[in-house]
Amino acid sequence: MDIVQELKSKGFNAIDCIGVGVDLKEMEITLENTNTQELLSMFGIDSRSASLVEEGENLFIIGKNKPIGHFPKENGETVNINEVLHEIKIKIKESV
């Protein structure tokens, strides 16, 4: 099962469920009972201005009208996706 199918099987919308360079095994606890909007909000991302986007086997969080790999924060700054994914990995590991 590829990453997109895995995400779809956990309730992600097919359109939103697009490519997070985070191992799904690490994300399993988060993904089990989480929809796309909840996943974004868990990491402080406003779902109205950012979305999950598929790029090959990787899942990126992008902001509307922003380059892939970045999303807008509330204060208007953008953050590199790799920093975001690092934070996600840390938070998920801490919650295990």
- What's this model's pTM, rounded to 2 decimal places? 0.26
Which two tokens mark 77? 């700054």
Please report, as a single letter, which amino acid is at residue 89: K
CB 62 within 8 A of CB 51: yes
pLDDT in tens, 67-93: 334 444 445 555 455 565 555 555 545
Q: What is the mean pLDDT of the chain?
A: 48
Output the pLDDT for position 14.
38
d(CA 81, CA 87): 10
**Domain encompassing residue 56:** 3-95
Q: Name the domain count of the chain.
A: 1
Output the pLDDT for position 46.
54
Average pLDDT over residues 22-44: 48
Q: Which residues pair with 71 in a beta bridge?
A: 79
Q: Which residue has the higher pLDDT, 55 or 87?
A: 87
Locus of tokens 């985070």 = 22
Average pLDDT over residues 64-69: 38
d(CA 72, CA 84): 12
Output the pLDDT for position 57.
45
